[in-house]
Amino acid sequence: MNLDCLLEIVDSKLIENQDRPLNPTEILIMRGIWKYWTYSQMAVEAGYSTGYFTNVAAPELFGRLSKVIGQRVTKKNCRMLLESYVIAQDALETTPLGTNLPESTSEVNQSEVKQKDNSPRYPSGSVPLDSKFYIERSPLEEQVYQEISKPGALIRVKAPREMGKTSLLLRIIDHANLLGYRTISLNLEQVEWGILNNLNQFLRWLCANSARLLQLQPNLDDYWDEDLGSKISSTLYFQDYLLESTDTPLVLALDEVNQIFEHPQVAKDFLPLLRSWYEEAKRLPIWQKLRLLVVHSTEIYVPLDLNQSPFNVGLPIQLDSFSEEKVQQLAQRYGLKWEDGEEIRQLMAMIGGHPALVHLALYHLSLGSISLSELLENIPNSSGIYHNHLQRHWAALKKQPELAQALDIILNTNEPVPLDPILSHKLSSMGLIKKSGSKVVAGCELYRQYFLSVFNNKGVK
Bigger pLDDT: 14 vs 109: 14
Residues 182 and 306 in one domain: yes
pLDDT of the residue at 116: 39
In sequence order, the β-bridge partners of residue 295 are 157
> Does the bond joining 272 to the residue before it have cis omega, within 30 degrees of 0?
no
> What are 43-55's pLDDT values in tens digits?
887 777 888 888 7
- Residue 273 confidence (pLDDT) above 70: yes
Residue 422 lies in a domain: yes
Residues 252 and 401 in one domain: no
Residue 348 lies in a domain: no
> What are 344-382's pLDDT values in tens digits?
999 999 999 999 999 999 999 998 878 899 888 888 776
Residues 176 and 298 in one domain: yes
Range of lowest pLDDT (269-273, 276-280, 302-306, 438-442): 302-306
Give residue 27's identity as a one-letter amino acid code. I
The listed range with the strongest mean pLDDT (92-96, 110-114, 296-300, 408-412) is: 408-412
Residues 212 and 294 in one domain: yes
Residue 274 lies in a domain: yes
Give residue 360's identity as a one-letter amino acid code. L
- Residue 447 confidence (pLDDT) above 50: yes
pLDDT of the residue at 244: 95
Residues 310 and 400 in one domain: no
Q: How far apart are CA 93 and CA 115, in angstroms?
A: 10
- Residue 39 confidence (pLDDT) above 70: yes
Q: How far apart are CA 369 and CA 115, in angstroms?
A: 16
Q: How far apart are CA 162 and CA 359, in angstroms?
A: 10
Give pTM, 2 decimals.
0.72
Report whether 295 contacts 255 (CB < 8 A).
Answer: yes
* Average pLDDT of the segment spanning 225-241: 96
Bigger pLDDT: 293 vs 128: 293
pLDDT of the residue at 460: 62
Give residue 4's identity as a one-letter amino acid code. D
Question: What's the chain's average pLDDT?
Answer: 85
In sequence order, the β-bridge partners of residue 435 are 440
- Residue 171 confidence (pLDDT) above 90: yes
Residues 88 and 154 in one domain: no
| Domain end marker among 273, 302, 318 | 318
Predicted confidence band of residue 91 (pLDDT cuts 50, 70, 90)? low
* Average pLDDT of the segment spanning 188-204: 94
State the CATH number of the domain containing residue 293.
Answer: 3.40.50.300
Q: How far apart are CA 402 and CA 222, in angstroms?
A: 50
pLDDT of the residue at 99: 47
State the CATH number of the domain containing residue 449.
Answer: 1.10.10.10
pLDDT of the residue at 300: 59
> What are 175-184's pLDDT values in tens digits?
999 899 999 9
* Average pLDDT of the segment spanning 430-453: 88
In sequence order, the β-bridge partners of residue 154 are 292
- Residue 271 confidence (pLDDT) above 70: yes
Q: Which long-range contacts (CB under 8 A, 24 or more apart) does 431-434 make?
A: 431/160, 431/161, 431/163, 431/354, 432/393, 432/407, 433/407
Which domain, by its residues, includes 264? 140-318
Residue 336 lies in a domain: no
Bigger pLDDT: 28 vs 1: 28
Q: How far apart are CA 371 and CA 315, in angstroms?
A: 42
Residues 151 and 291 in one domain: yes
Residue 227 lies in a domain: yes
Q: What percent of the chain has pLDDT over 90?
A: 42
Ramachandran sector of residue 72 (left: φ over 0; alpha: ψ -120 to 50; beta: rest): beta
Q: Sign of the CA dihedral 362, 363, 366, 369?
A: negative
pLDDT of the residue at 110: 41
pLDDT of the residue at 138: 80
Ramachandran sector of residue 437 (left: φ over 0; alpha: ψ -120 to 50; beta: rest): left
Residues 72 and 213 in one domain: no
Report DSSP letters for 226-267, one per residue.
TTT-HHHHHHHHIIIIITTT-SS-EEEEEE-THHHHTSHHHH
| Domain end marker among 93, 122, 149 | 93
Secondary structure tally for the chain: helices H, strands E: 22, 7
Report whether 256 contacts 297 (CB < 8 A).
Answer: yes
- CA triplet 142, 277, 275: central angle to 5 degrees? 75
Q: How far apart are CA 24 and CA 61, in angstroms?
A: 12
Nearest to 300 by CA among 434, 405, 161: 161
> What are 102-117's pLDDT values in tens digits?
443 333 344 443 343 4
DSSP assigned state of 183: E
| Number of domains comprising the chain | 3
pLDDT of the residue at 104: 37
Q: Sign of the CA dihedral 372, 373, 375, 376?
A: positive
Bigger pLDDT: 142 vs 47: 142
Secondary structure of residue 312 in the 3-state scheme? helix
What residues have CB less than 8 Å from 404, skipping those under 6 apart? Answer: 397, 398, 455, 460, 461
Residues 58 and 153 in one domain: no
| Domain end marker among 318, 333, 350 | 318
The listed range with the strongest mean pLDDT (70-74, 114-118, 284-288, 295-299) is: 284-288
Report whether 152 contacts 287 (CB < 8 A).
Answer: yes
* Average pLDDT of the segment spanning 248-263: 92
Residues 300 and 228 in one domain: yes
- Phi, psi torsion values for 297, nearest 5 degrees: -80, 150
Residue 236 lies in a domain: yes
pLDDT of the residue at 461: 56
pLDDT of the residue at 359: 94
Range of lowest pLDDT (105-114, 249-258, 268-277, 447-456): 105-114
Residues 64 and 195 in one domain: no
Residue 343 lies in a domain: no
Q: H-type helices in 281-383, by residue range?
A: 324-333, 342-351, 355-366, 372-378
Residues 65 and 151 in one domain: no
pLDDT of the residue at 207: 97
Q: Sign of the CA dihedral 431, 260, 171, 81?
A: negative
Residue 344 lies in a domain: no
Q: What percent of the chain has pLDDT over 70?
A: 89
